[in-house]
């Protein structure tokens, strides 16, 4: 029996796509730098048992599997390789359980992030991770890349909300790991091993997620600066003051100008803009943002404004979330994902200005100032080979800068197929060897997403 025949027997004809025009839409994610190939087939299982059948069939045939969610990733981690089977989990979209008393939810990987947030809000609960693509990215993709978002400064990244996982291994067996309790230290923390593994160790088919009480309606602060150094000083001082806002974002001059043109608005900022929120509620939120406002003023802010008006706060966040869309007016973009110590944010922004001048391309810097996770974005003409080459150089120069400032090459997007050499540089030869040994132990045939995150060592 051929592999395609076996897959159709397990999933039905509708669950196995082979038409090249159709499968082309599943070849790559949102990162234009990452290579991709033509898959043999795209499969859309609807349950864990079908995932197991796909894994067993592909393993027997020696055909690699690339797991994929909605395709919102920015590292090429879900990109097809030539002749693979792309396993798409979007049809597994059931919220299995919401346990309000124990503050947890059990979900399948195809559940959209925003849909989960909306469902648990009806129970007075909150699922914190909020990637910028939260209105269409899926929980499975969030788990695979350990996605972050604007709320990380207070609530952490995806792994901080994971209690347990159900994963199909390379053998086709179903591993259940983790717990439903608040505490639990039995054995290795295998759930955290699979979170952020980018589909290289197994296919996540179910997740048990910790929820929090629904936050209070947020208060919002905006502060503008005529010097980038002043904005950076304000961020550092907020951290020293012990205030933990639910959100603290920064936009540089290039980001501000792009958003102003795109939204036809005036953000009244010259060099930098900070947006902070507190979801502590009422008087506590007011006091927290009063402290932040004083810090910004003392650091040289040209304007500060605090509001408890929800619509006004949403409008300010629309400006922050619109940066990438706004930059599309100027051309295609490559968005980086370096995370640096918060005291080095200014150095990163200034360094990106230098890189921009060197390559002759626009680079906008925005990001999560509260945790130092910045997204320098290089804009280029996609029809120009020369500009694409310069954009690629700028992308790598930003990674070099991030490491030189004591940072990491990814804070939330992952390694995928574009940062393998940078992972090796960051973790060193011993760290890389341990990664490969874990991969070999769980996936001895290199079935899952081969070539993503890191390559196999010479000789296998």
Q: What is the pLDDT of residues 34-44, one digit of tens each?
A: 889 999 999 99
Confidence of residue 457 (pLDDT cuts 50, 70, 90): low
- pLDDT per residue as tens digits for the range 62-98: 999 999 999 999 899 999 999 999 999 999 999 999 9
Classify the C-alpha dihedral 57-59-64-70 as positive or negative.
positive
Q: How far is CA 58 from CA 311, 333, 427, 442, in A?
A: 51, 36, 32, 16
The pLDDT, as a whole number, for residue 85 is 98
Cα separation, 109 vs 48, whole angstroms: 10
Residue 456 predicted with pLDDT over 80: no
Q: How many CB atoms lie within 10 A of CB 457?
A: 11
Q: Looking at residue 352, what DSSP letter applies?
A: H
- pLDDT per residue as tens digits for the range 269-288: 788 999 999 999 989 999 99
Q: Please, are residues 163 and 131 in contact by the beta-carbon 8 Å criterion?
A: no
Q: How many CB atoms lie within 10 A of CB 363?
A: 29
Residue 440 predicted with pLDDT over 70: yes
Closest CA relative to residue 365, chosen from 250, 277, 211? 250
Closest CA relative to residue 227, chosen from 346, 334, 131, 122? 346
Mean pLDDT of 51-56: 98
- pLDDT per residue as tens digits for the range 208-226: 999 999 999 999 999 999 9
The pLDDT, as a whole number, for residue 30 is 86
The pLDDT, as a whole number, for residue 86 is 98
Mean pLDDT of 197-210: 98
**In whole angstroms, how large is the CA radius of gyration of the chain?**
22
The pLDDT, as a whole number, for residue 459 is 55
Mean pLDDT of 381-386: 94
The DSSP result for 71-133, as a single string, is S--SSSTT---TT-EEEE-TT---EEEEETTTTEEEE-TT-BHHHHHHHHHTTTEE-----TT
Residue 451 predicted with pLDDT over 70: yes
Closest CA relative to residue 86, chosen from 169, 16, 191? 16
Least confident range from 30-34, 120-124, 178-182, 263-267: namely: 30-34
Residue 458 predicted with pLDDT over 80: no
Average pLDDT, the chain: 94
The pLDDT, as a whole number, for residue 242 is 87
């Amino acid at each position: 029996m051929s592999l395609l025949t076996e897959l159709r027997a397990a999933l039905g004809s509708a669950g196995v796509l082979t038409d090249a025009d159709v499968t082309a839409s599943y070849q790559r994610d949102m990162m234009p730098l990452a290579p991709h190939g033509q898959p043999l087939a795209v499969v859309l299982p609807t349950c864990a048992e079908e995932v197991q059948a796909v894994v067993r069939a592909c393993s027997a045939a020696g055909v690699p599997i690339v797991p994929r969610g909605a395709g919102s990733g920015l590292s090429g981690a879900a990109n097809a390789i030539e002749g693979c089977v792309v396993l798409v989990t979007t049809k597994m979209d059931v919220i299995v359980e919401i346990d309000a008393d124990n503050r947890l939810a059990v979900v399948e990987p195809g559940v959209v992030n925003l849909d989960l947030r909306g469902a648990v809000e009806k129970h007075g609960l909150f699922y914190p991770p909020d990637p910028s693509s939260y209105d269409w990215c899926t929980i499975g993709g969030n788990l695979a890349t350990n996605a972050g978002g604007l709320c990380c400064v207070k609530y952490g990244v995806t792994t901080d909300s994971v209690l347990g996982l159900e994963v199909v291994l390379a053998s086709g067996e179903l591993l259940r790991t983790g717990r439903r309790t608040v505490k639990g230290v039995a054995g290795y923390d295998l759930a955290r091993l699979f979170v952020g593994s980018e589909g290289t160790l197994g296919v996540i088919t179910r997740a048990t997620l910790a929820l929090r009480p629904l936050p209070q309606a947020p208060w919002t602060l905006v502060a503008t600066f005529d010097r980038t150094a002043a904005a950076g000083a304000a961020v550092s001082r907020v951290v020293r003051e012990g205030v933990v806002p639910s959100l603290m974002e920064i936009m540089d001059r290039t980001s501000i100008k792009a958003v102003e043109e795109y939204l036809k608005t005036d953000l009244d900022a010259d060099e930098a803009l900070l947006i902070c929120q507190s979801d502590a509620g009422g008087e506590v939120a007011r006091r927290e943002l009063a402290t932040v406002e004083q810090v910004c003023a003392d650091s040289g802010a040209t304007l500060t404004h605090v509001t408890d008006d929800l619509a006004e706060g949403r409008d300010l966040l629309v400006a922050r979330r619109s940066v990438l869309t706004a930059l599309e007016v100027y051309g295609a973009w490559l968005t980086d994902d370096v995370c640096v110590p918060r005291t080095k944010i200014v150095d990163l922004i200034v360094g990106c200005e230098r890189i921009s001048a060197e390559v002759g391309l626009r680079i906008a810097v925005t990001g999560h100032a509260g945790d130092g996770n910045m997204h320098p974005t290089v804009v280029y003409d996609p029809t120009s080979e020369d500009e694409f080459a310069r954009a690629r150089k700028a992308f790598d120069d930003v990674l070099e800068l991030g490491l030189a400032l004591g940072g990491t090459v990814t804070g939330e997007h992952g390694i995928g197929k574009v940062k393998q050499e940078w992972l090796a540089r960051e973790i060193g030869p011993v760290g890389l060897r341990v990664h490969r040994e874990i991969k070999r132990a769980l996936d001895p045939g290199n079935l899952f997403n081969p070539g993503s995150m890191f390559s196999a060592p010479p000789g296998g």
